[in-house]
Amino acid sequence: MGTGAAAGETHQVKSTPIAVPGPRLAALDGVRVLAAFSVLFYHYAALESAWGEPTSGVFPLAHGMAVYGWLGVEIFFLVSGFVICMSAWGRSVGDFAVSRVSRLFPAYWVAVVFTSLVLFTWPEVRRVGSLSDIMVNLSMLQGGVGVPHIDDAYWTLFVELKFYLLFALVVLRGVTYRNCVLFCGLWTLAGVVAPAVDNGLLTFFAVPSASPYFIAGMAFHLMRRFGPNAVLWAVVGVQFLLAQHYVHPRMITNLGRAVTEQTPAWPAHLIIALGFAVMAAIALGALDGIRWRWLPHAGAVTYPLYLIHMMAGLTFIHHFRREVAPVPLVLGVTATMVVLAWLVHRLIERPLGRVLRDGLRRGLQDIRSAAPARPQLDRLPAQRSGTATERVPAGR
């Protein structure tokens, strides 16, 4: 989306869904790449499970930065809010569902099978519980039915699914400026209320620690589409404060309480602030000059890379840690994962995604075009009194 399209709508908020054409935002792909490698860096250089000893001793210098790599997930959520709001404009609920299913599942299915094979072959870091666990993981719904993730990184996908399900309500009503802002307000309210009430369903969908990033991403896209205004800046500001509030709990979740107590929190706060600042720059068109041709290709590989890198990579590191020095080992495993991710994207994700998308679209068209059969009832016998004969309408 170019700056011209956004600038043309700066002073006009339209209420009808419209499509705004424009080139792919390379800066968004750059954010994806940085987020993906920060998460990978965190898993390989901060987690002890692969090395069998504290990583602070394995990587004395890098460990101090790696412990903040989990924040790449939060940045992914920011980008997701922006992209989903952008891509859903003018679509029906069916089209929105087709786009999400065909985008998420092909690479995910391959990742589940690949990771399961690695863990079956070398059950050193993690063992696969059962074949049924793998089958449930293929649905991406394991987080809702209490089945362990084959790969711990998959927990974010279930959070994404909640966002898609909630945003489908906006798509159902029509993706407009007003409906998006209303959604942002209601989800913010749910996220604030959920921790204070004992309501499992509300807490399940409110996702208080993640929703600020999705909501802020949506607001940034609205700025991009319609131009910034006080309402959208207020939405972003509230989400920024809520995101900062959850930094310490998220550090405990990712690092453990003992490590968190020894790790300064200010770099995490700063990284979140930088993430919001970069997204604001994208929303305002300040980074439209970034048009490096390799960025869209690199950005396309980040999703399969995220899916396959964690448990398989940790297993490879654990398996070869006695034979290869730490730095070359991490670099080698990272390079291997990038190559595998590229192969998954080119050979499976793209072609299978097209097949899945076309098949689902045909199924939707069949549903839309199918009309229920209307049985022709026999004419009722005329009444002797001379009353006119009536045909009974079907379904009444």
Task: Give the span between the Cα atoms of 168 and 360, in whole angstroms.
Answer: 17
3-state class of 42 per DSSP?
Answer: helix
In a structure prediction context, what are the per-residue pLDDT tens digits for the chain, which is 396 residues long? Answer: 443 333 333 334 444 433 444 567 899 999 999 999 999 999 999 999 899 999 999 999 999 999 999 999 999 999 999 999 999 999 999 999 999 999 999 999 999 999 999 999 999 999 998 999 999 999 999 999 999 999 999 999 999 999 999 999 999 999 999 999 999 999 999 999 998 898 888 999 999 999 999 999 999 999 999 999 999 999 999 999 999 999 999 999 999 999 999 999 999 999 999 999 999 999 999 999 998 999 999 999 999 999 999 999 999 999 999 999 999 999 999 999 999 999 999 999 999 999 999 999 999 888 878 756 555 544 444 443 343 333 333 433
User: Coil, helix or strand for 196?
Assistant: helix
For residues 330 and 137, the answer to whether their CB atoms sit within 8 Å is no
Q: Is 308 exposed, middle or buried (0-12, 13-18, 19+ CB in 10 A)?
A: buried
**pLDDT value at position 381?**
46
What DSSP character marks residue 321? T
SS3 68: coil
All residues at 6 or more sequence positions from 261 whose CB lies less than 8 Å from its CB, including other chains: none
The candidate with the shortest Cα–Cα distance to 210, out of 256, 172, 243, is 243
SS3 state of residue 139: coil
Contact status, residue 148 vs residue 311, Cβ threshold 8 Å: no
343 with 76: CB under 8 angstroms? no
CA 42 to each of CA 50, 124, 153, 251, 317: distance values in angstroms, whole numbers, following the listed order:
12, 20, 12, 12, 14
What pLDDT does residue 199 have?
Answer: 85
Closest CA to 96 of 366, 362, 357, 368: 357
pLDDT of residue 229: 97
3-class secondary-structure state, position 299: helix
pLDDT at position 370 is 72
pLDDT at position 367 = 82
**Which candidate, 296, 293, 291, places its Cα nearest to that of 345?**
296
Whole-number pLDDT of residue 278: 98
Non-local (6+) Cβ contacts of 94 within 8 A are 364, 367, 368
Say if CB 117 and CB 315 are below 8 A apart. no
Question: Distance of alpha carbon 229 from its chain centroid, rounded?
Answer: 26
Q: Which two tokens stand for residue 393?
A: 């309408």
